[in-house]
Amino acid sequence: DAPLLSKVPPGTVLTIGDPVTQKALEVSGLGKELSFEVKWANISGGPQTSEAFRAHALDVGSVAEIPSIFANWNNLPVRNIAYRERRDPIANPIYRFGIAPGAAIKTLADFRGKRIAFSPGQAQGTLVLRALHAAGLKSGDVTLVELPSTSDVYPKALASKQVDIAPLGGVYIRRYITQYGPDGATLVEHGLRDDPSHLYAPQWVLDDPAKAAALAEYVGLWARATEWVNRNPDLWIKEYYVGQQGLSQEDGEYLVKLNGEQVVPSDWSEVKKRHQETIDLLADELGYKSFNVEQIFDNRFEKLGAAALAKSQ
């Protein structure tokens, strides 16, 4: 890989699909520091982001760990260029397993023989596989019920006892327990790390020196925006959750608490190790060919986030 340019050439335009950071940059005022032109796209989620990449309609997106893996298995060369995680990941997981009312399931080991909602290709689906793996189970030991994880399909499926177990995230965790707790609905912690969050970009963008330089600058701002959100939860709730996303103050507070604090490490060796395990697991379970994790990380960007944070403080 060619070394990154130190300055973004004039006339560079970057299309960025990272709506949360977009809002953080706007509220914090950090956005004014961008030295190149940005076109914001309100695109999130792996399949959509990858589709936009394929169409050359997007230069960089913000997702969890899975999309870059599947993209590389399916002829879309992409690489992660930034990574952040939660301060205390086990205590602040993104997902918890919702248990249908009346199903006697207390630990991962009780999953044997149960019906589990499964969305292949999405983070929740991978989490199910990893949880089974952690409990020493194979996917054949349970019934995987394929359901899209969108909307309230999972809570509804649990409540109507169509499945015994389903990974829940965000406000759905709390809502599920408040609504169906009285009927006997419970939650099970998986004790796994489900917190990785990446920026990733197609190889052809990374090969463009001008765009790569712009990405480098963006990674720095992205890290600072992350830090800004950590420090200004009240403003963030007001501007983002309530103001933009239309949630109640209460929901906003809950989500901020649930997310905990996000940190940008300056070293990727840990995450790469875990990532490799995931790749191997998925390759094994879904019949793909495993590959080396280095193929999907662009090491030129490894230090940039943490460095920008250090510099700004």
Contacts 24+ apart (CB under 8 A), 180-184: 180/101, 180/155, 183/101, 183/102, 183/159, 184/101, 184/102
| CA torsion, ordered 204, 125, 91, 292, to nearest 10 deg | -40
User: In Å, what is the CA distance from 101 to each residue of 33, 169, 172, 177, 201?
Assistant: 51, 18, 15, 10, 42
Cβ closer to other proteins: 148 or 191?
A: 148
Cβ closer to other proteins: 244 or 312?
A: 244
Is 171 strand, coil or helix?
A: helix
Cβ of residue 295: shortest distance to other proteins, in angstroms?
16
Is 84 strand, coil or helix?
A: strand
In angstroms, rounded to a whole number, what is the distance separating the alpha carbons of residues 311 and 299? 20
In angstroms, rounded to a whole number, what is the distance separating the alpha carbons of residues 113 and 59? 43
| DSSP code of residue 165 | E
In angstroms, rounded to a whole number, what is the distance separating the alpha carbons of residues 308 and 223? 7
Cβ of residue 257: shortest distance to other proteins, in angstroms?
15
Cβ of residue 76: shortest distance to other proteins, in angstroms?
6
Contacting positions for other proteins (CB under 8 A): 17, 19, 41-43, 46-48, 50-52, 54-55, 57-58, 70-71, 73-76, 119-122, 145-148, 150-153, 155-157, 159-160, 162-163, 170-172, 175, 179-180, 245-247, 251
Cβ closer to other proteins: 151 or 269?
A: 151
Residue type for position 141? D
Is 82 strand, coil or helix?
A: strand
Cβ closer to other proteins: 35 or 179?
A: 179
Cβ of residue 100: shortest distance to other proteins, in angstroms?
13
Cβ closer to other proteins: 67 or 220?
A: 67
Is 103 strand, coil or helix?
A: coil
Cβ closer to other proteins: 147 or 221?
A: 147
